[in-house]
Amino acid sequence: MPPKASDEALADAVIQNVEFGTYPDSEDVISAELPASALPQLLDTIQKARDEITGEIRALSRDAASDVDSWIAQSKQLQADIERSKATAREIVQEAEAGKTLRAAIDDASSKQQLLQSELAFNEALADTLQRVKSISGTLDETDNLSREGHMLEGIEKFEEAVDAAKDMSRFENAQFTSILHQRIAQLGADMASQTRECWNILVVESINGQGFTINSQVEKEGISTEMGTVVEALSRLNALEDNLMRFCKRFESVIVRPRLSPAGARSSVVLTTSGSDIHTTQSTTTSVKDAIRDVESIVKYLDDRFPSSAPRIWLSKRKEVALATIRSTSFKGLGTKKVAERIETQKVSKNEAVIAQDQAQSVEAPNNQASNDWDDAWEEEEEKPAAEENTGNVDEEEDTSAWDVDDGAEENEDKAPPPQPTSDEPPSAADDGEAWGWGDDEAEQSKKSDEARTTSRAPRVNGDQDPLSHSEHELTLRETYTVTAIPDSLMEVILQTVSDAERLSTDEFSNSTIATAAIGLYSIPSLLLALYRATAGTYYAKDVAGNMLIYNDSSRLSDELNDFLSKQREKDSHSKLPSAKRPSTRLRLEADIRLLEGCGKRAYGREMEAQRTILRDLLDGAQGFSDCTVQPFAAECDNAVAMTVDRVRDVNNQWKDVLSHSARVQSLGNLVSTIVNKIIVDIEDMSDISEEESKRLRHFCDQIGKLNDLFVQDAPDGSGEQVDMTGIYTPNWFKFQYLGEIMESSLADIKYLWQEGELSLEFEPEEVVDLIEALFAESDYRRNAIAEIRRSGRHR
């Protein structure tokens, strides 16, 4: 039987649980039952607790009444604010909806406005066009009236005005009224051409018997006077003159020229008779050569008298067409014909200069190749100084298309055009010009020192005696051969023939000739031919694997021949009897064309060099900077990259061997090899850690590249028959590259010795050597001491 607890204890336990959530500690209370008799006591206890709590709440309410009222007021204020915010939000939503409506209305109104503006612009354009149509139609009516009244030239001028005005109506080109207008213009043009041809047929009449012509200078028909000069000009402006002349020439040749110049038949011969406006042939029993010559002169004089003096302009145009067609044909065919050209240079030099020249190089193409040899720099110093002073401008010649602007009067302004930079052999995006020609800082410094040495050697002695070497001058002649196509000779042949014809037409012998006035115009043809060559060379030469180098050679050859021709022509004109204004040396202004031609050749050389350098860089990029060159598959990639690079250089040498001269070839190859060694040097110097095995592999790669030196081996200049390696002269950084290969397998002591006692310090900067040492050798006191010594000695260099 569970223990029995008092009613007070039970009631107290229930109140504690309800009020505080606690349970009684007494086991008797926990396990006791709650009898019905305890309920009254429990209710009384709960009531008391309720009354106590109510009293406490009332007491607290009396103390916090003011705060509660404030809270209530704030709550009401908050509620009011919330309501106002809701109202404002509703208003915003309503305004937003209204804004959308207004925006749609605005967009609609804007569209309507744009439509109205477009319609207004269209209407204005239509009104303007209709006004133009009215004006053009009036001009055409005026043209028609002028033509009917015999005022052909005035009518043609009005017709041309109408045609130009009709071109501005492209906006309404599909409109029906525009089509009708163009039809009327075409019909009126055809009518005018037909009317002009009728006038021509009135002036130029073939005899009924088919044995002669009547060519009138002027004919009057129905009160309208028609002149030959007016008809010829009208036909020319209507682009119908050539057709009429061709028909007339064929008939004149068939009726007059051919019968008169044909061999005499078995029965009778033909003689020529001219009388006023008539020319005809008659049968004769005998004729002589003298009679034939006299009749030819009669034909020329007759045509000269009958036709206006414009037959020279046509002849000049034909000469230009024939000359340009000839060059196009020879350029296409001449590329397949190649020959060996020889370049010879002779200069008086001192004994010292001759020795320097023979020791350093055997270059004879310095003006073309811009060779960096000391003797060559001194040789060309006097020639290039005026050229440098003259070249103060810059010409941007994109594929030389600007040369097509040359016209009949081009020779008057060519010498005013700013010349191009003579050393620009690179495209605009390529490296600077010096790189393509192999100009390096080392070579420039060497040339400067050599110039200073020569200046010192030629300076007078302190005691007034002259240097004995200055009296031991002698001529030094150097020869080299290179390959050119047949194009330069073909060009020169046409140019020489053109100049010769112009010179002959300027003499008294042809003073009465109808084409004598075209002599001046002939002098513009050489510029046109050279412009055509420059503009189309890239197309023709692209078929040859060494096309760019052939352009370079041909341009150099052509420039030399033009300069030589101009020099000889000036000498010849100094003894000429022609007036100064008519002499070829005065009329020919080819200096600017020669500069452009030289620039064309150098740009072709620069394009070829840049292309080859790009290929070599791409091949070396396959080695991926020689990182992991001992780990497959990267090791195989490095081997392939180096092998293909070497093979590429040898392939290029084979392509150029029979094209370039020896000096130009080795100089160009030296530049390519320099590109290779510079990239390898940079790639190796960028390696932060080089293991022993990697250093051996890198040395192997350097040795593979080093085998290219056999391309620069040549006979010693002293005639001893010994072979001399000239790689270091033509390839900048070659010795640095050789030293790099040595460093790869050298000990730290060897590197210190090369730096302090050898010539390593001449090729490398101290920090370059330090970076290589840190990559090759592990950290140690000996390495730190070596680096400190190299840096210290580098500061005192």
Per-residue pLDDT reduced to its tens digit, 710-758: 898 887 766 677 888 888 889 888 998 988 888 888 888 888 888 888 8
- pLDDT winner (highest mean) among 37-41, 149-153, 498-502, 579-583: 498-502
Residues of the chain with pLDDT > 70, as a percent, come to 79
Q: What is the pLDDT of residues 186-204, one digit of tens each?
A: 888 888 888 888 888 888 8
pLDDT, residue 474, reads 62
Q: Read off the pLDDT of each residue in 435-444 and give the average, rounded to a whole number.
A: 35
Q: What is the pLDDT of residues 609-661, one digit of tens each?
A: 999 999 999 999 888 888 878 878 888 888 899 999 999 999 999 999 888 98
Return the higher-pLDDT residue of 144 and 210. Answer: 144
* Phi, psi dihedrals of residue 271, rounded to the nearest 5°: -120, 160
Q: Read off the pLDDT of each residue in 545-553 and give the average, rounded to a whole number.
A: 90
pLDDT, residue 677, reads 92
pLDDT, residue 290, reads 80
Nearest to 428 by CA among 404, 394, 392, 390: 394
CATH topology of domain 605-795: Tetracycline Repressor; domain 2 (1.10.357)
pLDDT, residue 779, reads 87
Identity (one letter) of the amino acid at 590? L
Domain residue ranges in the chain: 7-63, 68-173, 196-308, 317-601, 605-795
pLDDT, residue 161, reads 83
8 Å CB contact between 296 and 316: no
Mean pLDDT of the chain: 76
Give whole-number Cα distances, 795 to 265, 362, 493, 761, in Å: 104, 39, 64, 11
pLDDT at 106 over 50: yes
**Alpha helices for 238-380 (secondary structure H):** 241-252, 258-261, 289-306, 311-334, 351-360, 366-369, 374-379
pLDDT, residue 396, reads 36
Cβ-based neighbours of 347, under 8 Å, separated by 6 or more: 379, 475, 476
pLDDT, residue 654, reads 92
pLDDT, residue 118, reads 87
8 Å CB contact between 762 and 747: no
pLDDT at 607 over 70: yes
pLDDT at 4 over 90: no
8 Å CB contact between 483 and 659: yes
C-alpha 545/C-alpha 335 separation (Å) is 12
Q: Read off the pLDDT of each residue in 683-693 and give the average, rounded to a whole number.
A: 86
Give whole-number Cα distances, 319 to 324, 486, 494, 759, in Å: 9, 22, 11, 67
Quick one: pLDDT band at residue 350, thresholds 50, 70, 90?
Answer: low
Q: What is the three-class DSSP state of 723?
A: strand
Nearest to 592 by CA among 424, 423, 418, 393: 418
C-alpha 755/C-alpha 739 separation (Å) is 11
Joined together, the tokens standing for residue 742 give 């040595």
Q: Read off the pLDDT of each residue in 518-526 and give the average, rounded to a whole number.
A: 85
C-alpha 272/C-alpha 282 separation (Å) is 6
Joined together, the tokens standing for residue 8 give 């007070």
8 Å CB contact between 229 and 240: no
C-alpha 777/C-alpha 748 separation (Å) is 8
pLDDT at 673 over 60: yes
pLDDT, residue 454, reads 34
Quick one: pLDDT band at residue 363, thresholds 50, 70, 90?
Answer: very low
Q: Read off the pLDDT of each residue in 500-524 and give the average, rounded to a whole number.
A: 80
Quick one: pLDDT band at residue 135, thresholds 50, 70, 90?
Answer: confident
Return the higher-pLDDT residue of 750 and 65. Answer: 750
pLDDT, residue 226, reads 76
pLDDT, residue 630, reads 80
